[in-house]
Chains A and B, each alone.
Chain A
Amino acid sequence: NAGVTQTPKFQVLKTGQSMTLQCAQDMNHEYMSWYRQDPGMGLRLIHYSVGAGITDQGEVPNGYNVSRSTTEDFPLRLLSAAPSQTSVYFCASNSLDLGKDGYTFGSGTRLTVV
C-alpha cells in the first residue's frame, strides 16, 4: 500500500548514543517533514524538506540533523541522544497541491533515551 513507512517503531537509547530514524514515502511527494509529539504540546515540527537536496529547520531543530538525497527518503539523525529527546516521532509527506493528497503520516517511532 502507498504511504509513509517509518522504522523502527520502538527504540531505547542510552544518553550520548546516536541513531537514525528512517522515513520513506512512495507517493512522489515533494514535501517531507519530521514532527515530535510530547504530552500537552501537540506535534511540533523538527525539520522539513521541499525537495531532494533542500532541507530547513522547523520549530524544534536542535539536536537533530536531516538530509534528503532522494525524493523518497528523509532520515532523521540524532547525533548524541539526550533524555529530552524522549518522544514519539512522526514523519509526514505531502504534495505541493494540498488538495490532491493532503498529508500522509507514518505510524510513528517511540523513542526513549535513558
Chain B
Amino acid sequence: AQSVTQPDIHITVSEGASLELRCNYSYGATPYLFWYVQSPGQGLQLLLKYFSGDTLVQGIKGFEAEFKRSQSSFNLRKPSVHWSDAAEYFCAAPTGANNLFFGTGTRLTVIP
C-alpha cells in the first residue's frame, strides 16, 4: 500500500542550528509529496509540495525539501531554526483516491 513514514517522533534542536526532518515514502510511481506544519492548537499549514521536476523544492518560512528517488525520501530542511519553528511537522502523500495519507508526525522542540 502507498504510505509515508516519519521515523522521528520528537526532535530537539538549538535555536540557530540546522534542521532535517525525515520522511520516507512507499510508492510505485513518482509520488506527489507534501510537508505540513501545525503549531499547538492550530490547523495545518502547507510548507511545500513536490509534484515533479526539480527535486529541490523551496517552501515558506525558509524551509526546503529534497526528493530522492534512490532513497525513497523527501526530507525537510532548514539551515537555521528559529524559536517560532517549534511545532509538529507532517509529511503526506495522496492515495489512489486522492485523499492524503499522513505520516505520524515529528514534534520539533527548539531550545533557546
Contact = CB atoms under 8 A, between A and B. Distances in A.
Interface string B83-97: 000000010101001
B67 to A, nearest CB: 15
A103 B36 CA distance: 11
Given A40-B9, A50-B98, A90-B44, 4 more contacts: A40-B105, A42-B102, A42-B105, A105-B44
Nearest to B94: A98
A2 interface: no
A50 B43 CA distance: 23
11 contacts: A35-B102, A42-B103, A43-B90, A43-B100, A45-B101, A50-B98, A58-B99, A94-B98, A96-B98, A106-B43, A107-B43
Contacts of A106: 43
A74 interface: no
B100 A92 contact: yes
Using C-beta atoms within 8 Å of the partner chain, give the interface range for chain A. 20 to 34
A99 interface: yes
Interface residues of B, number: 21
Interface in A29-69: 31, 33, 35, 40-45, 48, 50, 56, 58
Given A90-B43, A103-B34, A40 B100 contact: no
Interface of A: 31, 33, 35, 40-45, 48, 50, 56, 58, 90, 92, 94, 96, 98-99, 102-103, 105-108
A8 B27 CA distance: 36
Nearest to B95: A45
B102 to A, nearest CB: 4
A107 B41 CA distance: 10
B72 interface: no
Contact of A102 (B46, B99, B103): B46
Given A40-B9, A45-B99, A102 B49 contact: yes
